[in-house]
Chain A
C-alpha cells in the first residue's frame, strides 16, 4: 500500500487541465479515434467526446432519450471522457496531496473563479471543468469498473457545475406530469420518489425523472429531463414486475441496484419536460389510499434543498436561492402514498387537472 501522496511541484489548475487535454488526445490516438455523441438537454448543448468506445455504453444510455443534436445558437458544454486501462494512457499524478480531498469530492486549491475540480473517492472518477471555455474532463482508471451510479446518473458533478452557470439547477428530485404541467417529487432516498415516478408509467402521466432532473426556475419554473434512468430496489422489483423482467433480461444481478433505461421499455412515456405546477413530498404510509395535504413552502424547501445541496459539488447559496424561488412560486404538498399503486398517478392527475 502506498502512503498518502505528496503533490507534484505544480499547483496550477490551468496547467493541469491542459495536461488532461493532452492525455485525452493521446488516448484518442491510442484507442483508434474519438467517439462523439451530441445531445440537447434543457435547451442547451452537450457534446460528449470519448477516447475510444470503452465508456460509451456506460455513459450514453442514460442520455439516450434526449434529442441527439446540438441546439443551434445555444451554449454548449464539451466533455472529454477517458480511462487509462482501455487506452493505455495514464494521466499525470494529482498536483495536490491526499489531504486536499474535501466534502463532496472537492479538491482544495483547484476550485476558483476559472475551474471546478472534484474527485470521487467512492467511484474513482476525476471531474474537472473549465468555466470560461465550457470544457470538462472526466477520467477514471478502468472503464470496466464504472460504478452503477455513474451509469445511472452520468456526469452529475460536471453537469451541476455547467447548469449552475446557466441559471439552471440540477435537482435531486423526480418529476412526472403532462405537457401542460407537472410536479416535482422531492425527498431523501427511500421517501418514495422512485415508486411514485415509476407508478406513473402505467398511467396518462409522462415521466421526466425518478432521481435527478434539471430545474429552470425563471421566469416561471420548468423542469427538464436529464436521464431516462429508472432505479429499482428489491421491493419495487415486485411492485413493477414488467420493469423487473427488463432488468433481469439485461443480465443484471439482484444484488446490484436495479437500473433500467426507460427509453428501451416505454419511450412514449418519456417527456422532455414541462412547466412545474407543484412540489410534492412523497411519504410511504402503508395504508391503501393516496392523498394530498397542503404544506408550507418552508417544508417544501427543507425536503428539496438539503438533499440537493449536500450531494452536488459546488451547490450552495446560489442553488438554495433557486430552490427558494421555486417553492415560493408553486404550492407544496405532502403526497401520502397508498399501497394501491394505481391511485398515485390518479391523485396527481386530478391535481393537475384542477389547477
Chain B
C-alpha cells in the first residue's frame, strides 16, 4: 500500500460505533458486519477521520512498542483488508488533512503499549437477507408474482 494514500471511510454505506476496546462496523450494502480488536480499533478511529497512511504509521509507531518493520507491514495489511471490504477508500488528500502531520506528543518507550496484530472479525451470517429475490414472472400489468405462485417456494 502506498504510504501517500489518504484514506477515509468508504461512504455512507459504512456505519460504525466505537466501544473503546472494540469497534463494530456495519456495511449496509453487502450485509456484512465486523468487529476489530483494540489495535484494529485504534487504526479505524484514525482512518474514520481521514488520514494519510504514512501519518497513521507514524502515530502507531509513537504509541506502540515493537519492531517498526512488522508494525508498518501489519498496519498496511489491515488497511488493505479494510479497503478490500470497501469499508475505507482513498480520497484526494485535503490541503491540510485533519489528522495529518506529527501533531502528537512524542512518547517514551515506557509509555508505549505493546503492539498487537490488528485483527478483523468478519460476520457474513446476515448477507442472505440482502439478496435480491428473483423475479420469475410478472402479470399483464407488470407486477411480479409472489414466489410461491411463480413456483419459487415459500420465503422463510
Contact = CB atoms under 8 A, between A and B. Distances in A.
Interface string B19-59: 10111101011010101000000000000000000000000
B130 A104 contact: yes
Contacts of A140: 146
A349 to B, nearest CB: 29
Contacts of A121: 132-135, 144, 146-147
Contacts of A316: 15, 28
Nearest to B29: A103
A110 to B, nearest CB: 14
Given A2-B138, A4-B135, A121-B133, A320 B26 contact: yes
A124 B143 contact: yes
A317 B31 CA distance: 14
Nearest to B136: A1
Which label, helix, strand, loop or mixed, suits the secondary structure of the B interface?
A: loop
Interface residues of B, number: 41
Contacts of B136: 1
Contacts of A298: 17, 19, 22-24, 35
B92 interface: no
Interface string B104-125: 0000000000000000000101
Given A121-B144, A121-B147, A124-B146, A301 B17 contact: yes
A324 B132 CA distance: 28
A335 B10 CA distance: 36
B22 to A, nearest CB: 4
Contacts of A350: none
Contacts of B142: 2, 5-6, 93-94, 98
Nearest to A149: B155
Contacts of B95: none
A124 B123 contact: no
A339 interface: no
A105 B130 CA distance: 9
Interface in A229-278: none
A311 interface: yes
A188 B125 contact: yes
Nearest to B137: A1
B154 A302 contact: no
A101 to B, nearest CB: 7
A342 B38 CA distance: 40
B129 interface: yes
A98 B22 contact: no
B19 A306 contact: no
A147 B31 CA distance: 25
Interface of B: 12, 15, 17, 19, 21-24, 26, 28-29, 31, 33, 35, 123, 125-126, 129-149, 154-156
User: 8 closest pairs, A vs B, by CB?
Assistant: A5-B142, A124-B146, A122-B155, A121-B133, A310-B129, A298-B22, A298-B19, A93-B142
12 contacts: A1-B136, A101-B133, A119-B143, A121-B147, A147-B148, A297-B19, A298-B22, A306-B26, A306-B33, A310-B129, A320-B17, A320-B26
